Structure 1
Amino acid sequence: MASHNPHRVYIPTNARSNQYLLAEIKPDAAFYAGFASAADCYQQLAQQLFALMTQHELRNVQLIANDKLPVVRFHEEAYSLQTEKQILFFYNPKYHEGQGIFTTPDYQARKLRVVFLATGEELRSQAALFHSKVVQLLTAWQQQLPGRPAIKLRDHQQLSYDLFAKAKGLKESYGYKLRGLYPRYKARQCTLPDEHSEITYVTVTLPLTRQLKQHFLTADATDFSLLYQQLEQRFTAACAGKKLDKLAVVANGLTPVVRSSKWDKVENNRELQKVSFNPDCSEPQLLSFWQADKLVESAHFIIVADKDDNTEFGYGRFMNQVEEALRSFARQLEIPGERQDLLVRFYQHISYIIPAAE
């Protein structure tokens, strides 16, 4: 039982693990001057990358040169889907390999992004090795680039599972300590720079079902404030007293993107809502994004770990508190766990700069 060891969280055995690294370069005019055209630039860069990925035994690498943000999701079929602001990569790490380049005709990118998708079966145990291979590739690639520019590197890891898996009959679980990335990598001889930014958080997506809408709204309602206020109040009440005080509610129809405020600020566009937190700050933080006149299909709830939640054992205690809060939240809303999924995603991110080479 999870209560026998508060430093482990017991997650269903059908939980999905994912990891990808995102490298970003800001090319300047001098960078582009080294190529005949933007199209020629991107083709040459792709050729360099794809040659290096073979040398470094990386099996799924994508070059993005149209300023769209990558979003990675699990799927049994491998495919990519582009919107105005995003590229969604769907794949199963066990089976899917690939390489690709995403450009827009006659468009010169402000940022060049490279997505390295982890492959294989034991992603968490192999995460440090995968990170090391990516850094080796980027260091070699940097030597081939005009001006040898600095590279911002983000490592994204994720575990996702249904909070109600047990109610649906899945009794088997596995105990995770969920160690922080920095000590986990250090123990596996993958050294990260002292100057880095780390953020750990949980998101849960709640479909706004007919039952929820009927409970809080009249049939002819055009002002949906009561629904969003009640969801926010019940969410914060569920988290109260559990040291969970860095929270956000995103119910404006946009996809939340959580970042450390060391790198990014709160902002949005037509598809994405960037939400920034400072995990080192001891002050509570509640961010809320919704519109009284806009009824959306689902709401996203975010819980960010404090610096103190990263104990010598890991984030297991934090996740037990999170699960307790989410179950309380679900009970308040009378969500039928045997019939409805409540997808929990546990994220670990670490970011740093690979400095410009001499």
Structure 2
Amino acid sequence: MASHNPHRVYISTTARSNQYLLAEFKPDAAFYQQFSSHEACYQQLAQQLFALLPQYDLHNVQLIANDKLPVVRFHQEAYTLQTEKQILFFYNPKYHEGQGIFSQHDYQARKIRVVFLATGEELRSQAAAFHSKVVQCLQAWQQQLPGKPALKLRDHQQLSYDLFAKTKGHKESYGYKLRGLYPRYKARHCALPDEHSELTYVTVTLPLTRQLKQQWLAAGATDFSPLYQQLQQRFVEACAGKKLDRLAIVANGLTPVVRSSKWDQIEQNRELQKISFNPDCTEPQLLTFWQADKLVESAHFIIVADKDDNTEFGYGRFMNQVEDALRSFARQLEIPAERQDLIVRFYQHISYILPAA
């Protein structure tokens, strides 16, 4: 029966898709000397870029020149929030379009970033076409940039859903193969360079509820390590025996950012915890970030796929193993599935350099 196909994962039809492409380059002093001011630079770059968008049917594009990291989330209303280190874009791909410039007065950005947000319906089936349009647009924009610099390009795709959706009455599901980006794009005539980095992983954010705290912390406790140690132990145990051994736990109050170690290393700032995994390494890895004297509101659990998880069918088998592990983890923690959401986010990233024009 189709429902028993081990290479498909059956996900509630309430699941939401996201896709965006992030292009960036590092302007040097000679680049900025081509403009009368930083503000003039960013305005001219944006005008050149935005003028190209109708030609490539791109409808939601943002230029970032304040060195903040873009974070994209689904929401029925479109709005943008800025923190010291992040810009959070909330939007519904079906309806929301826009163009914007994010800069600071008299600030020289270390990086110029452009975020292309996918719009329309059926984002996964249209992902390759969207990627191709963005690349063509960027290549045309490169021709207008001083020095025609190379661009680092990252394609981010996300599928998010409540693990407990069926328990809450959402019975309809859809079977996903979750093919890797490279073969999926190749089949749709979107050529990607051989030299690229691909990373696939899952994240779950667990609120540290009163029930969890009372279970492992004494009243008035100032040492919170028993809570974190118990969560870590149960998470690792839930993943054991399922070939899920590239794990991370972030419970230090920071937002995890998962990257390929081909491009980035482990580091942190006041808001972000950057975690790096080598996509070509199959050795077990467990990264933990928490402090015994700091109680946080939520903990993030991350499971990273390795090369063997990307079968000729896709990541369906991997996601079935992930779901089994997360359900086991939730049972151990006695999470009430009828009342609490456990949002699973399946990410696929691919990165490469778009050469200088």
The residue matched to 2:335 in structure 1 has which SS? coil
| Distance across 2 between alignment mates of 1:319 and 1:330 | 16
AA paired with 2:216?
F
Listed as ranges, the gaps of 5+ residues in structure 2 are none
1:268 paired with 2:268, answer yes
Cα deviations by residue, 1:39-65 (Å, 9 ceiling, x for unpaired): 100000010111011111100000000
Q: How does 1:194-205 map to 2 (within 5 A)?
A: 194-205=194-205
| Distance across 1 between alignment mates of 2:80 and 2:2 | 38
Name the count of aligned residue pairs.
Answer: 357
Q: How does 1:9-158 map to 2 (within 5 A)?
A: 9-158=9-158
| Equivalence for 1:300 | 300
| Equivalence for 1:240 | 240
Shift, 1:279, TM fit: 2.0
| Distance across 2 between alignment mates of 1:53 and 1:111 | 21
| Distance across 2 between alignment mates of 1:7 and 1:123 | 21
Q: Over aligned residue pairs, what C-alpha RMSD do you find?
A: 0.8
Shift, 1:4, TM fit: 1.3
Shift, 1:30, TM fit: 1.0
| Distance across 1 between alignment mates of 2:54 and 2:81 | 25
AA paired with 1:334?
E
AA paired with 1:25?
F
AA paired with 2:76?
E
Shift, 1:193, TM fit: 0.2
TM-score w.r.t. length of structure 1: 0.99
| Distance across 2 between alignment mates of 1:234 and 1:175 | 29
- In structure 2, relative to structure 1, the CA distance for the partners of 1:125 and 1:204 (3 Å cut) is same
**In 2, are the aligned partners of 1:93 and 1:119 still within 8 Å (CA)?**
yes
Cα deviations by residue, 1:303-350 (Å, 9 ceiling, x for unpaired): 000100000000000000000000000000000101100000000000
| Equivalence for 1:336 | 336
| Equivalence for 1:348 | 348
The residue matched to 1:275 in structure 2 has which SS? strand
| Distance across 1 between alignment mates of 2:223 and 2:68 | 33
Shift, 1:34, TM fit: 0.9
| Distance across 2 between alignment mates of 1:156 and 1:37 | 32
Identity of aligned residues (%): 86
AA paired with 1:282?
T
| Distance across 2 between alignment mates of 1:226 and 1:249 | 15
Q: How does 1:176-255 map to 2 (within 5 A)?
A: 176-255=176-255
| Equivalence for 1:165 | 165
1:321 paired with 2:321, answer yes
| Distance across 2 between alignment mates of 1:346 and 1:127 | 15
AA paired with 1:344?
V
| Distance across 2 between alignment mates of 1:25 and 1:161 | 33
Shift, 1:286, TM fit: 0.3
Cα deviations by residue, 1:9-36 (Å, 9 ceiling, x for unpaired): 0000000000000000110111111111
**In 1, are the aligned partners of 2:197 and 2:279 still within 8 Å (CA)?**
no
**In 2, are the aligned partners of 1:63 and 1:113 still within 8 Å (CA)?**
yes
AA paired with 1:329?
F
| Distance across 1 between alignment mates of 2:2 and 2:106 | 56
AA paired with 2:274?
K
Cα deviations by residue, 1:226-272 (Å, 9 ceiling, x for unpaired): 00010001000000010000000000000000000000000000000
The residue matched to 1:322 in structure 2 has which SS? helix
**In 2, are the aligned partners of 1:2 and 1:10 still within 8 Å (CA)?**
no
Shifted more, 28-37 versus 118-127: the winner is 28-37
| Equivalence for 2:286 | 286
The residue matched to 1:167 in structure 2 has which SS? coil
| Distance across 2 between alignment mates of 1:237 and 1:216 | 17
Shift, 1:282, TM fit: 1.6
Shift, 1:187, TM fit: 0.3
Shift, 1:2, TM fit: 7.1
Cα deviations by residue, 1:112-171 (Å, 9 ceiling, x for unpaired): 000000000110000000000000000000000000000000000000000000110111
AA paired with 2:141?
W
| Distance across 1 between alignment mates of 2:44 and 2:87 | 21
**In 2, are the aligned partners of 1:77 and 1:90 still within 8 Å (CA)?**
yes
AA paired with 2:283?
E
| Distance across 2 between alignment mates of 1:67 and 1:168 | 41
TM-score w.r.t. length of structure 2: 0.99
Shift, 1:224, TM fit: 0.2
